[in-house]
């Protein structure tokens, strides 16, 4: 009985040690495969990058032929970031993700103020500064307060019919994701 107990405990300890070693050795292979790391690999902050299959090495593209997507990485450490897109499209959605690739905010054309996208991403300190002295240009902008200073935005244009394809591509190509400089 005691011998069986000792053998069971030793087998468990050896198995746990082996599993631990395998996980530790495999961990570097998994690092950098999250969505944020893939978006960082696309290029600089403040620019939308198309997620079309043929142009995109990240694997973040949507396979749906009626949806066109673009992604922009942002950094709020110095300034707020304003996201705009004005070309009329039948439907659009926007999702904001933090640097852990967790969705923290989303909206669509149905919940926007006016036509197109006009969103300003801010930290809590930047929000206080804006509330004290709101620039007239931001009067219709949706202010989104984020606790993390880095993340990315995914903008999607939906073209349910082939005739809307050109507008969807134009909507994404003219979209801006630029730091807002206070003057």
Token representation of residue 182: 């206070």
pLDDT of residue 177: 93
Half-sphere exposure of 20 (CA within 13 A, CB side): 6
Which candidate, 177, 154, 174, places its Cα nearest to that of 81? Answer: 177
The runs of H, that is alpha helices, within the chain are: 2-30, 35-40, 124-132, 165-173
pLDDT of residue 155: 92
CA distance 102 to 35: 9
pLDDT of residue 153: 94
pLDDT of residue 121: 94
The structure's pTM equals 0.76
Token representation of residue 176: 């801006």
User: Counting every residue, how long is the chain?
Assistant: 183
CATH of domain 36-179: 2.60.40
Q: How confident is the prediction along the chain (183 residues), in pLDDT tens digits per residue? A: 788 888 888 888 888 877 777 777 666 555 556 777 778 778 888 888 888 755 555 556 667 778 888 999 999 999 999 999 988 888 899 999 998 888 999 998 887 777 788 899 999 999 998 888 888 888 888 899 999 999 999 999 888 777 778 888 888 889 999 998 765
């Amino acid at each position: 009985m005691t011998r069986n107990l000792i053998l069971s405990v030793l087998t468990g300890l050896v198995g746990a040690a082996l599993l631990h070693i395998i996980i530790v050795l495999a961990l570097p292979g998994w690092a950098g495969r999250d969505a944020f790391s893939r978006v960082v690999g696309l290029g600089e902050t403040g620019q939308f990058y198309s997620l079309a299959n043929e142009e995109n090495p990240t694997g973040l593209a949507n396979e749906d032929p009626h949806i066109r997507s673009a992604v922009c990485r942002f950094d709020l450490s110095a300034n707020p970031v304003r996201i705009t897109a004005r070309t009329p499209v039948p439907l659009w959605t926007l999702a904001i993700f933090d640097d852990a690739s967790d969705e923290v905010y989303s909206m669509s054309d149905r919940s926007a103020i006016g036509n197109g996208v006009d969103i300003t991403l801010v930290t809590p300190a930047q929000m206080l500064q804006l509330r004290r002295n709101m620039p007239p240009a931001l009067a219709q902008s949706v202010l989104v307060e984020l606790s993390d200073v880095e993340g990315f935005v995914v903008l999607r244009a939906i073209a349910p019919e082939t005739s809307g394809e050109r507008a969807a591509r134009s909507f994404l190509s003219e979209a801006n994701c630029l730091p807002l400089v206070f003057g």
